[in-house]
Homo-oligomer: A and B are copies of this chain.
């Protein structure tokens, strides 16, 4: 998990998964790689962490799974973002943005001079 704190990884996991699926259907193994690339190797998800998230999101009806197959005929479980997932993603992004704004606001306020 490199230098990124557990909390930060946890807070960003769901928005990241939903964002990735918003770009198009994908599956577990590929999502892990996409996250690694997107973070320039700074975020390494363990598969044992992602699958439970995917299952949770599916149970929440934010995403939907279906079995497909790779070029080589091997099977894969793909996930598709559902409408509710798109809405949830918007909410999560807004919330992230709010907290980001708080952090920026207080970063800007300096004590005394400077």
Contacts and interface: CB of A to CB of B under 8 A. Distances in A.
Interface of A: 3-5, 7-8, 10-16, 19-20, 22-24, 38-39, 42-43, 91-93, 95-96, 98-100, 102-103, 105-107, 109-111
Nearest to A92: B5
A68 to B, nearest CB: 17
- How often does this chain occur in the complex, in copies? 2
B12 A10 contact: no
Contact of A11 (B10, B20, B107): B10
Most buried by B among A5, A13, A24, A43: A5
A56 B41 CA distance: 29
B4 A103 contact: no
